[in-house]
C-alpha cells in the first residue's frame, strides 16, 4: 500500500492526514486517517521538517507501516542542488531507510533544478510542472508513479483529496 501525507496548521494545533491507497492508478482511497498535534513547533526557515516530522510520525502510528511500501509527502526530499535534506529525507530516515519516499511539490524551491535530485513532470494539459524528488527509489521511477496517478489534471486526484481533507475545517482537538 501507499500513503500520501500532509499537515495543516491552525492556531495551536496541527491536523495531519494520510490517504492510503493500493495502486498508483487508484481513483479511491482504501482509508483516510487523521491525527492532531497540540502546540506544534514553530516554523523555522530552512528547517521545515522540525515542525512537520513530529506530526507525520504521530499520524503514521495510526496505520500498520509493515503494509506500506511507499510514502508520498507534500514537499521535497532534497532542497537544493547539493542534496540538502528536506522533509521527505527525514521521513525516510525515520524509518531507517526501509520505506521509499516521494516528494511532490507544486512550486520550485529556490534553485533546485539539478536533474539528479528533482524531476519536473507535466500532467493533463497543464503547462506548470510538479516537482518530484525521491529517496529509496530511483527518481525516474518515482516520477513515473506520480505521472500515472489517477486524474486528468496537474495535481493527481488522490493528492487533491488529501489536500482537501487536510484543510477541511470543523475537526478540532477536544478542549479540556
Which has the minimum average pLDDT: 10-24, 49-63, 75-89, 145-159?
75-89
DSSP letters along 97-157, please?
T-S-EEEEESS--TT---TTT-EEE--TT-SSPEEEEEESS-HHHHHHHHHTSS-SSSS-H
pLDDT classification of 110: cutoffs 50, 70, 90: low
Alpha carbons 146 and 103: distance in angstroms, whole number: 10
Q: Does residue 111 surpass a pLDDT of 90?
A: no
Query: Sign of dihedral through CA atoms 107, 17, 166, 42?
Result: negative
pLDDT digits (tens, 9 = 90+) for 114-137: 676 889 999 999 999 999 999 999
Percent of the chain clearing pLDDT 70 (strictly above): 91
Q: What is the CATH number of domain 2-167?
A: 3.30.2170.10
pLDDT classification of 169: cutoffs 50, 70, 90: low
- Most confident range (mean pLDDT) of 85-89, 114-118, 142-146 is 142-146
Alpha carbons 129 and 142: distance in angstroms, whole number: 15
Domain boundaries, the chain: 2-167
pLDDT digits (tens, 9 = 90+) for 24-75: 999 999 999 999 999 888 877 777 788 899 999 999 999 999 999 999 999 9
Amino acid at each position: 500500500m501507499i500513503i500520501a501525507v500532509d499537515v495543516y496548521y491552525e492556531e495551536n494545533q496541527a491536523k495531519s492526514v494520510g490517504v492510503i491507497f493500493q495502486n498508483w492508478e487508484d481513483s479511491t482511497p482504501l482509508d483516510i486517517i487523521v491525527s492532531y498535534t497540540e502546540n506544534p513547533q514553530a516554523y523555522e526557515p530552512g528547517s521545515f521538517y522540525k515542525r512537520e516530522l513530529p506530526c507525520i510520525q504521530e499520524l503514521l502510528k495510526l496505520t500498520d507501516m509493515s503494509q506500506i511500501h511507499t510514502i508520498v509527502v507534500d514537499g521535497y526530499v532534497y532542497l537544493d542542488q547539493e542534496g540538502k535534506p528536506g522533509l521527505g529525507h527525514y521521513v525516510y530516515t525515520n524509518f531507517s531507510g526501509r520505506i521509499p519516499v516521494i516528494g511532490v511539490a507544486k512550486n520550485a524551491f529556490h534553485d533546485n533544478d539539478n536533474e539528479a535530485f528533482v524531476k519536473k513532470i507535466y500532467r493533463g494539459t497543464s503547462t506548470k510542472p510538479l516537482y518530484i524528488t525521491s529517496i529509496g527509489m530511483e527518481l525516474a521511477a518515482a516520477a513515473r508513479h506520480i505521472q500515472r496517478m489517477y486524474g486528468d489534471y496537474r495535481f493527481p486526484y488522490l493528492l487533491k483529496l488529501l489536500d482537501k481533507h487536510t484543510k477541511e475545517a470543523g475537526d478540532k482537538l477536544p478542549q479540556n
